[in-house]
Structure 1
């Protein structure tokens, strides 16, 4: 399969800041994808906890007189310097980053799950060249490999039940166990360019499939999809399996042919 990523011809001096939820899988996954496609100048920073804690910290640090988050005052690199207690060479500077990407899990089984908080974050983190752009993984990062084959004919219909997210097995979520027992991708390092292309295409096609009968502006696409997911969860206790964080590769660097 030919390379589906067409890297921009103009090399930018400034970097991309990629804020991810976890320190292990997310970092390993995106470092590997950037390596495959020859993408450099990306700084990956782990927030080390879930999106609802992220929202709560923003509210603590940036609340206005009404108790709402005043997003106009948020400088994400500066915020991360304080939250992660960075110093010296590790300090982040807004002037270094031309784009900011945020990657977190949907985590509907978390006790702090709140659609309103997700809507607020998706509304206000919708531009990678501004405050940043948020991508959610449904239900979590492992969704990138929740497939039985690279041409999985059932992927567009694949869901996970909320009860499987709540289950625990030897300290691991039931969903992760399901993925590991069925996936055709054993290790991230086994992903080559051909497999990466197939994954990007699968997830991009599924997003388009699930939104095909809905009207929306491009900048509100991910908020709309979150609403679709929350409706599915409320009515059927199911979540569509979809990894939107992979799609930032397409939107930032190229397109699916």
Structure 2
């Protein structure tokens, strides 16, 4: 593929490791993966400081360039990218958690070819490995409670059937993506055919559902969405699994 993508991710280790493996597997040779080093609420507040409430003239690459302290990395944000992805955790336990903030970020960053497309992982990126078996349909209803969040990385790793991201191949990624798509269909109670429309509208509904679940039950559906950036480019990538 000739396209060059930019991914702005929250963490410095797990997210770059996962996306580098994903892009290598699906032949996205040209990319930049930049760790923002803080969560989505920090990013939101810095955008407010930089642009105020009016985001109609928001230039995300310019903003990132101005925020970058390493002069050697500033040139990353001078390049032209066919797609820009943002990958962040839901982080409801953060004292800056705000439904307004995360809702506005989701609504604004909705187009990978212009402003960027935001993918939120629930509760965090380790949701990609938190699958006990690819045949275990209990994943479709699995949740994490508020009192478990501090130990979530350990829980996900101990219960995972696929903890080693460095070993992921097309089969592994396709199975994880398919399970997460099935889960979205299940928790939203929608028809599978809806996935053929703009998936981002569906991801907005997922966010709304997770906010309500958190407010009412102090829990979240375990769900990984960042891998869907590949699925959205080629929805047929998982069809072969159903033909096996």
Q: TM-score, normalised by structure 1?
A: 0.85
Higher fraction of helix: 2
In 2, the alpha carbon distance for the partners of 1:29 and 1:58 equals 26
Equivalent residues in 2 for 1:158-173, closer than 5 Å: 158-165=142-149, 173=150
Gaps of 5+ in 1: 1-10, 166-172
Q: Calculate the aligned-residue CA RMSD, in Å.
A: 2.0
Match of residue 121 from structure 2: 137
Out of 65, 69, 75, the residue aligned to residue 91 of structure 1 is: 75
Match of residue 234 from structure 1: 215
In 1, the alpha carbon distance for the partners of 2:58 and 2:80 equals 16
Q: 1:50 to 1:93 in 2, by over 3 A?
A: closer
In 1, the alpha carbon distance for the partners of 2:77 and 2:214 equals 39
| The 10-residue stretch of structure 1 (71-80 or 243-252) with the greater mean CA deviation from structure 2 | 71-80
**Count of aligned positions:** 234
Match of residue 242 from structure 2: none
Out of 13, 17, 22, the residue aligned to residue 33 of structure 1 is: 22
Equivalent residues in 2 for 1:116-131, closer than 5 Å: 116-131=100-115
Out of 70, 85, 96, the residue aligned to residue 101 of structure 1 is: 85
Higher relative CO (Cα under 8 Å, sequence separation at least 6) belongs to 1
In 1, the alpha carbon distance for the partners of 2:226 and 2:138 equals 21
Gaps of 5+ in 2: 240-244
Match of residue 149 from structure 1: 133
Shift of the alpha carbon at 1:95? Answer: 5.3
Q: 1:228 to 1:234 in 2, by over 3 A?
A: same
